[in-house]
Chain A
Amino acid sequence: MYGGGFFIEPGKQEANAVADDPIKLAEFQAKIDRGDKIEAQDWMPADYRKQLIRMIEQHAHSEIMGALPEGTWITRAPNFKRKLALIAKVQDEIGHGQLLYAAAETLGKSREAMINDMLSGKSKYSNVFNYPAKTWADVTVIGFLIDAAAIVNQVINAKGSYGPYCRALERICYEESFHLKQGHDAFIDLATGTPKQRAMLQDALNRWWPPIMHFFGPPDKASIHTEKLMRWKVKLASNDDMRQQFLDSYVPKIQELGLTLPDPNLKKNEATGKWEYTEPDWDLFFRVINGEGPCNKERIDVRAWAEEHGRWVRHALMRKTEKTIIPFA
């Protein structure tokens, strides 16, 4: 589901930049410019590897964490059909996490190290999952709008330069189309329902709008680092461009149902073709991502609990002689 909100701290990367062999670097760039995909066994700049691991890993954690607020509602879905769809969707999200961990593993970071970094807070996941899904209407807003935002992000990233990540995203995007459709369907059921249902949906929309506006991350700072990631096709569109694309596709779909969004400045400027909006509160974004959100602790604790209590099963099945190697593709 849930790529997006990757944020890169500039400066820090530039300070740690490793000097790469200039001849190899030129060959690498030529490959990308030709439109060739980079494969796991290819030479790649140290910073390319590092940024991709960081990005794919965040994406994988987001898929797994994203299943938690939705999973809460499986036992309380309003009817059997919605329950089946939600179970299927949550299973897909866990599967997406697996596919993405696999893509990151080809770059040389083990799955165990990624899980540990997430539990310690060193590695992040999408900020939206630090918020609670308070009512069934929240589930429909997540299923429709968060998935839609993730699709915008994933369709763009699928055109990137790293082969294993692109292949994983192609598979993910295919399944996401079902998520979006079932989310939209459930959203419409509430939007066209009783006054109470409509009020419940409007309330959920009001609460989720700030996190949704945060979803693509803060505006990219113009930096050598960002420019390099664009040239390497690690980053393919700026956070603001993706936000624009999302608003352009989905705000009309919300408004056509007679629902409102809690931002009086949100409107499309017909002259520029761009959406104007109140700049989201980025201080809040950073506070939440660094642990102050309403659900950060619960999410991490639940994951830690699962790792801790699943350990005996993993050990019981383990063959001591087996060593993990880096997978091929």
Chain B
Amino acid sequence: MEKSLDPRVNRLDLQNAAGQPVAQDENWPTWEVFHQKKRGEHHIHVGIVHAADEQLALLFAKEQYGRRLKCANIWVIKSSNVFSLGYDDEDMFETTPDKIYREATGYKVRDKINAFKKSNKTIV
């Protein structure tokens, strides 16, 4: 084989590099990572890591998602422990923003006060 430009590569025994294929599950299960930018803020989902256990998951999450920008804290949760609704049911939220009676803006008190002031009603 031609010599590599990299002396580290030349020190490897590359003639016998290939072995068994990587077995299913050999890369460990996945953990969902939640990143908190600063104290007081929510932890936000940023992605996953593969890890054998929670200690390793935290270490990889720190390297993968905490090596840039601010970070106050990280959570990891095993992917198999996350439960979610399906997007098939997304339509059940359709009318949620329309329910104006649940919003502060759904109540116009000032109009009534102004109308009352104009009406000169008195307590009998």
Contacts and interface: CB of A to CB of B under 8 A. Distances in A.
B27 A111 contact: yes
Interface string A1-38: 00000000000000000000000000000000000000
A95 interface: yes
Interface residues of A, number: 51
Main secondary structure of the interface of A (DSSP, over half): helix
A317 B29 contact: no
B124 to A, nearest CB: 59
19 contacts: A42-B87, A105-B30, A105-B48, A110-B24, A112-B22, A119-B21, A168-B47, A174-B68, A302-B14, A302-B17, A307-B19, A308-B20, A317-B28, A317-B56, A324-B29, A324-B30, A327-B48, A327-B79, A328-B79
B17 A301 contact: yes
Contact of B18 (A42, A72, A119, A294): A119
Interface of A: 39, 41-42, 71-72, 75, 91, 95, 98-99, 102, 105, 110-113, 115-116, 119-120, 132-134, 167-168, 171, 174-175, 294, 297-298, 301-302, 304-305, 307-308, 311, 314-315, 317-319, 322-329
Contacts, number: 131
A112 B21 CA distance: 8
Interface in B66-88: 67-68, 79-80, 82, 84, 86-87
B29 A322 contact: yes
Interface residues on chain B, size class = 35 or more
Nearest to A164: B47
B50 interface: yes
Contacts of A98: 49, 64
B26 to A, nearest CB: 6
B28 A324 contact: yes
B6 to A, nearest CB: 4
A305 B17 contact: yes
B47 A99 contact: yes
A1 to B, nearest CB: 15
Given A110-B27, A322-B29, A327-B32, 19 more contacts: A72-B4, A91-B67, A95-B63, A112-B24, A115-B27, A120-B21, A168-B47, A294-B2, A302-B12, A307-B22, A308-B19, A311-B19, A311-B26, A314-B28, A317-B28, A327-B48, A327-B79, A328-B32, A329-B47
Given A119-B18, A174-B68, A324-B30, A298 B48 contact: no
Interface in B21-59: 21-30, 32, 45-50, 52-53, 56
Contact of B19 (A297, A302, A304): A304
Contacts of A175: 68
Given A301-B18, A327-B48, A134 B25 contact: no
A325 B52 contact: no
* Highest count of chain B CB atoms <10 Å: which of A113, A297, A307, A327: A327
B1 interface: yes
B5 interface: yes
B9 interface: yes
Contacts of A171: 46-47
Contacts of B7: 75
Contacts of A91: 63, 67
A39 B87 CA distance: 8
Given A102-B48, A328-B32, A328-B79, A41 B86 contact: yes
